[in-house]
Chain A
């Protein structure tokens, strides 16, 4: 670069100096020309990223004042109803951050609201990726990385929730302790190792602190880097539309459009989190008091992202414990653990399951409209329902009191819903998708109903249909259609169990599919309905009638 003309301005000289040494030009040329398509749903992952940045910034501030120690002390800060109370140094320093350190409370609230929004935005981003099929080849591994990021987010959140060592967080830890102890054979030893003896011990807060400020953030940052690197290596996906293909990306370049947009967006996200934190209190630890293993407050719940696990514990039916050689396996704990692990594994490996079922090995950069993958969308809806019922299960007590219902009835209703809810959601979603696809077909073939009814000269009434324009049409007809796979014998002439299973699942996926409108169908339909249907109606009423 520098060999062409020597730069004359100060900025130019600096840029030239850096480029000669760091080869910045190449990076910026490559990276700056990366094209991002425009759609609001593509910004959800970005919301997660920016809220994570906010959480890191505010968390750094908190580390300056928080003391992860379970040593005992007597509170001597400004909050009157705790003055003189015996508590751990961790809780006392959290109270000091809230009451006696300038800006401490707003930072704590920004940190906590930001964390809730971080995990929520990650979850929403995952749902967007799932329902649009963005996890298909070549992005399966990035889906898994994203899934791990979500898990790490939950872990970082939970460890942070436990740090203030107030009554609420201690109750949460006690539940985790109970779950660990419920695992057969290894449980008690694992619990004892984690807590450094019998719960609560004197070790757990410093250990959680190491996890919370070092190990988990480091893992999140490493996974985030891999996630973003893969995002750059793969092209960005885009929604189906005119000119959008699997070998291009339609959008704006990173430089300067998206750098400006994303930079501005960071401040908007930060602003929203800060505004919420300034107006609404979160986790008022002073209300809960110091942790003491005996009291448990009503309305003790985990933060939202752990809620579904708490719900699983609450909804597990009683009386299922089994004893093996006199050792009781507590199913009230094991059942929720098994169910939630199976659910998590299914979420993590779904891209591989779908790739196996479709047998599709091609790259996909054009997203699916959810209706065009009815079975996937239905599975997603069933999964969301399952998660949502578990999630709601964590607040059975609050639902009961706010809607003046019996807690027992709410619990039973949730247990029933957990089983039949996903089935209903699957069925309703699948039918809705198929109906929408049929409607799309109808519109592609016959145009939109205009609501204008015309009387033909021979007395017949017809409604004028307006054909869709070509841009709109593209969206309606451009999607991949899979057919059920027939079980075929392998080289040895045998049909294996795997092949049969695959064929059976493939049948569930695609047997009632709606095929996209083919060119032949389109032309046939439009041979009848000329765009100027009225004119033809005027000219040749008899012929039109016959064809209609």
Chain B
């Protein structure tokens, strides 16, 4: 007689719907916050980063990262930039000059991450690269070719470094971590140009890292490499040690006869 009401018309249905809606929206929000925090840092971390920033960076980069006389604006440089500059010890800068040198890292990893989170919170920018592009299982042949075309004119064919104008220079690349190489490419620190993902895809960057790590780990095929800087070192070696040693022999032979 009373035909059975559809489920949705039953009195308790509203409660279920509300319950499910609350779970979905709340859970979804929580999940979204988690991804957000993973990518951009928790509010506590950002706050911690802001404090560190004000204490250590603001005198040059401005209290809101907007830049000042001593340093450029950091709005939009992204977490990768902070991780590279502070993580390699270049920042905080020791002295102003054509280019900042590497020096011992001044902060702990947590502190660097906090500052990176703070700077990333100012405006979107390149993020710290994911692990999958930092492995050295790419294609070294392709990486070597890309390296010679894009990087070798400043960094030398095996990354031994080179000079630029007015005291600027491209540093040697041995001993630089995979993460920092990647970050340097995406952020273009100091005098380096930016190689964005349209220019070199993440896979290309991974190949370059693979190549660099290969030559770093398998260098001395033919003996000591004299700094890998090419014919100048070879010429100096010829004159100082090669001829020096041979002249010592001629003096020895000449002296024996007397």
**Residues in A lying within 8 Å of B, measured CB to CB:** 38-44, 47, 80-85, 98-99, 105, 109, 113, 116-117, 120-121, 124, 167-168, 252, 257, 261, 265, 268-269, 272-273, 276-284, 286-289, 292, 294-304, 307, 394-398, 400-401, 404-409
B137 shortest CB reach to chain A, Å: 12
Interface of B is mostly: helix
Q: Do A47 and B221 contact each other (CB < 8 Å), given the known contacts A38-B254, A40-B254, A280-B237?
A: no
Q: Do A83 and B148 contact each other (CB < 8 Å), given the known contacts A98-B221, A116-B235, A116-B238?
A: no
Task: Name the residue on B nearest A251 (C-beta).
Answer: B257
B223 within 8 A of A: yes
CB under 8 Å from chain A, chain B span 153-169: 153-158, 160-167, 169
Tell whether, in the assembled complex, residue B156 and residue A297 are in contact, meaning their CB atoms are under 8 Å apart.
yes
Tell whether, in the assembled complex, residue B214 and residue A292 are in contact, meaning their CB atoms are under 8 Å apart.
no
**Residues in B lying within 8 Å of A, measured CB to CB:** 98, 140-141, 143-145, 148-149, 152-158, 160-167, 169-170, 211, 214-215, 218, 220-226, 228-232, 234-239, 241-243, 245-247, 249-251, 253-255, 257-258
Tell whether, in the assembled complex, residue B98 and residue A117 are in contact, meaning their CB atoms are under 8 Å apart.
no
Tell whether, in the assembled complex, residue A279 and residue B223 are in contact, meaning their CB atoms are under 8 Å apart.
yes
Interchain CB contact (< 8 A) of A401 among B163, B242, B249: B163
B131 shortest CB reach to chain A, Å: 23
Alpha-carbon distance between A397 and B230 when the two chains are bound, in angstroms: 12
Q: Do A281 and B225 contact each other (CB < 8 Å), given the known contacts A47-B246, A83-B141, A301-B232?
A: yes
Tell whether, in the assembled complex, residue A401 and residue B245 are in contact, meaning their CB atoms are under 8 Å apart.
no
B181 shortest CB reach to chain A, Å: 16
A72 shortest CB reach to chain B, Å: 15
Interchain CB contact (< 8 A) of A299 among B160, B222, B235: B160
A98 neighbours in B (Cβ, 8 Å)? 221-222
Tell whether, in the assembled complex, residue B246 and residue A168 are in contact, meaning their CB atoms are under 8 Å apart.
no
A261 neighbours in B (Cβ, 8 Å)? 253, 257
Tell whether, in the assembled complex, residue A303 and residue B235 are in contact, meaning their CB atoms are under 8 Å apart.
yes
Return the 4 tightest CB-CB contacts between A and B, nearest first. Answer: A298-B162, A304-B235, A281-B222, A40-B254
Q: Do A40 and B152 contact each other (CB < 8 Å), given the known contacts A278-B223, A304-B231?
A: no
> Which among A38, A39, A40, A287 has the highest number of chain B CB atoms within 10 Å?
A287
Interface of A is mostly: helix
A398 neighbours in B (Cβ, 8 Å)? 163, 229, 232
Q: Do A401 and B162 contact each other (CB < 8 Å), given the known contacts A120-B242, A279-B224, A298-B155?
A: yes
Tell whether, in the assembled complex, residue B249 and residue A268 are in contact, meaning their CB atoms are under 8 Å apart.
yes
Q: Do A284 and B152 contact each other (CB < 8 Å), given the known contacts A124-B243, A401-B169?
A: no
A301 neighbours in B (Cβ, 8 Å)? 230-232
Tell whether, in the assembled complex, residue B257 and residue A252 are in contact, meaning their CB atoms are under 8 Å apart.
yes
| A–B complex contacts, Cβ < 8 Å, 29 sampled | A38-B254, A38-B258, A42-B254, A43-B250, A47-B250, A80-B140, A83-B141, A109-B223, A113-B238, A268-B249, A276-B242, A281-B223, A282-B222, A283-B231, A292-B148, A296-B152, A297-B148, A297-B156, A298-B152, A298-B156, A298-B163, A302-B231, A303-B234, A304-B236, A398-B229, A401-B169, A407-B165, A407-B167, A408-B165
Tell whether, in the assembled complex, residue B166 and residue A406 are in contact, meaning their CB atoms are under 8 Å apart.
yes
B225 shortest CB reach to chain A, Å: 5
Tell whether, in the assembled complex, residue B232 and residue A299 are in contact, meaning their CB atoms are under 8 Å apart.
yes
Tell whether, in the assembled complex, residue A40 and residue B247 are in contact, meaning their CB atoms are under 8 Å apart.
yes
Q: Do A39 and B232 contact each other (CB < 8 Å), given the known contacts A281-B226, A289-B157?
A: no
> Which among A40, A44, A47, A269 has the highest number of chain B CB atoms within 10 Å?
A40
Interchain CB contact (< 8 A) of B251 among A40, A265, A400: A40
Task: Name the residue on B nearest A172 (C-beta).
Answer: B231
Q: Do A298 and B166 contact each other (CB < 8 Å), given the known contacts A265-B253, A280-B223, A288-B157?
A: no
Alpha-carbon distance between A104 and B226 when the two chains are bound, in angstroms: 21
Tell whether, in the assembled complex, residue B228 and residue A287 are in contact, meaning their CB atoms are under 8 Å apart.
yes
A288 neighbours in B (Cβ, 8 Å)? 157
Tell whether, in the assembled complex, residue A272 and residue B155 are in contact, meaning their CB atoms are under 8 Å apart.
no
A41 neighbours in B (Cβ, 8 Å)? 250
Q: Do A286 and B221 contact each other (CB < 8 Å), given the known contacts A113-B238, A298-B153, A298-B155?
A: yes
Alpha-carbon distance between A83 and B207 when the two chains are bound, in angstroms: 14
Tell whether, in the assembled complex, residue B238 and residue A304 are in contact, meaning their CB atoms are under 8 Å apart.
yes
A300 neighbours in B (Cβ, 8 Å)? 230
B136 shortest CB reach to chain A, Å: 12
Tell whether, in the assembled complex, residue A295 and residue B234 are in contact, meaning their CB atoms are under 8 Å apart.
no
Alpha-carbon distance between A529 and B10 when the two chains are bound, in angstroms: 140
Tell whether, in the assembled complex, residue B249 and residue A272 are in contact, meaning their CB atoms are under 8 Å apart.
yes
Tell whether, in the assembled complex, residue B145 and residue A289 are in contact, meaning their CB atoms are under 8 Å apart.
yes
Tell whether, in the assembled complex, residue A287 and residue B157 are in contact, meaning their CB atoms are under 8 Å apart.
yes
A116 neighbours in B (Cβ, 8 Å)? 234-235, 238, 242
Tell whether, in the assembled complex, residue A395 and residue B253 are in contact, meaning their CB atoms are under 8 Å apart.
no
Interchain CB contact (< 8 A) of B241 among A40, A81, A257, A276: A276
Alpha-carbon distance between A401 and B161 when the two chains are bound, in angstroms: 8
Tell whether, in the assembled complex, residue A85 and residue B166 are in contact, meaning their CB atoms are under 8 Å apart.
no
Q: Do A299 and B156 contact each other (CB < 8 Å), given the known contacts A38-B254, A304-B231?
A: yes
B251 shortest CB reach to chain A, Å: 4
B153 neighbours in A (Cβ, 8 Å)? 295-298
Tell whether, in the assembled complex, residue B148 and residue A289 are in contact, meaning their CB atoms are under 8 Å apart.
yes
A395 neighbours in B (Cβ, 8 Å)? 232
B233 shortest CB reach to chain A, Å: 8
> Which among A265, A300, A401, A405 has the highest number of chain B CB atoms within 10 Å?
A401
Tell whether, in the assembled complex, residue A43 and residue B254 are in contact, meaning their CB atoms are under 8 Å apart.
yes
Q: Do A283 and B148 contact each other (CB < 8 Å), given the known contacts A98-B221, A298-B163?
A: no
B220 shortest CB reach to chain A, Å: 7
A404 neighbours in B (Cβ, 8 Å)? 167
Alpha-carbon distance between A397 and B250 when the two chains are bound, in angstroms: 35
Task: Name the residue on A nearest B239 (C-beta).
Answer: A120
B231 neighbours in A (Cβ, 8 Å)? 168, 283, 301-304, 307
B250 neighbours in A (Cβ, 8 Å)? 40-41, 43-44, 47, 265
Alpha-carbon distance between A273 and B242 when the two chains are bound, in angstroms: 7
A80-B140, A297-B153 known; 9 other A-B pairs, CB under 8 Å? A38-B257, A81-B211, A113-B242, A268-B246, A284-B221, A295-B148, A298-B161, A301-B231, A405-B167
Tell whether, in the assembled complex, residue A117 and residue B254 are in contact, meaning their CB atoms are under 8 Å apart.
no
Tell whether, in the assembled complex, residue B154 and residue A284 are in contact, meaning their CB atoms are under 8 Å apart.
no
Q: Do A282 and B234 contact each other (CB < 8 Å), given the known contacts A272-B246, A289-B145, A407-B167?
A: yes
B102 shortest CB reach to chain A, Å: 13
B162 neighbours in A (Cβ, 8 Å)? 298-299, 397, 401
B98 neighbours in A (Cβ, 8 Å)? 406
Alpha-carbon distance between A265 and B242 when the two chains are bound, in angstroms: 15
Alpha-carbon distance between A192 and B165 when the two chains are bound, in angstroms: 34
Task: Name the residue on A nearest B235 (C-beta).
Answer: A304
Tell whether, in the assembled complex, residue B242 and residue A117 are in contact, meaning their CB atoms are under 8 Å apart.
yes
Tell whether, in the assembled complex, residue A81 and residue B222 are in contact, meaning their CB atoms are under 8 Å apart.
no
Tell whether, in the assembled complex, residue A304 and residue B167 are in contact, meaning their CB atoms are under 8 Å apart.
no
Alpha-carbon distance between A141 and B50 when the two chains are bound, in angstroms: 80
Q: Do A85 and B157 contact each other (CB < 8 Å), given the known contacts A261-B253, A265-B253, A279-B223?
A: no
Tell whether, in the assembled complex, residue A85 and residue B141 are in contact, meaning their CB atoms are under 8 Å apart.
yes
> Which among A44, A273, A404 has the highest number of chain B CB atoms within 10 Å?
A404
